[in-house]
Amino acid sequence: MLPLLWQLALGGLVVLVAWVWFSDRPAVAMSALYGACAVWVPGWVFVRALKRQQQRAAHAMAALSALMLWEGIKIVLTIALLLAAPRVVKDLSWLALLIAFVVTVKAAWLGWWWQMRPSKSAKDY
């Protein structure tokens, strides 16, 4: 869940920067927002589905199958959102969409790194 929060935060930061920097062209900020959402929404659907599946799955094979199924659904949903972008966002800026998309995807790595870093206990000081 933490990687999704990092994606939301950094994707939102890119949108905010695009909105401030290109205040005279709102389509740039909308394109960035759409790019961040094209990553975050499928990721959220994926996490939600796996959490629901985790409560029901009793066998490892069922859990692995669910993981593969929902990862496929996430990929298809992401591609569908990207293909729909020109119809959804008027005056689409592909560069803004791509920058927000890449930053949001890479933010998950930051979230995973943050979760995996060793915590310091009182005896480490």
What token pair was written down for 21? Answer: 């920097």
The set of residues, in sequence order, having a beta carbon less than 8 Å from that of 74 and lying 6+ positions away, is 42, 43, 45, 46
Record the pTM: 0.78
pLDDT in tens, 50-107: 888 777 756 777 777 878 888 899 999 999 999 999 999 998 899 999 999 999 888 8
Closest alpha carbon to 18 in 104, 86, 87: 104
Whole-Å CA distances, 23 to 15, 27, 30, 98, 102 = 11, 9, 11, 19, 22
Q: Which residue has the tokens 């729909």?
A: 84
Whole-Å CA distances, 37 to 4, 45, 60, 89 = 11, 12, 31, 12
Residue 39 pLDDT grade (very low, low, confident, very high; cuts 50, 70, 90): very high
DSSP helix/strand/coil, 120:
coil
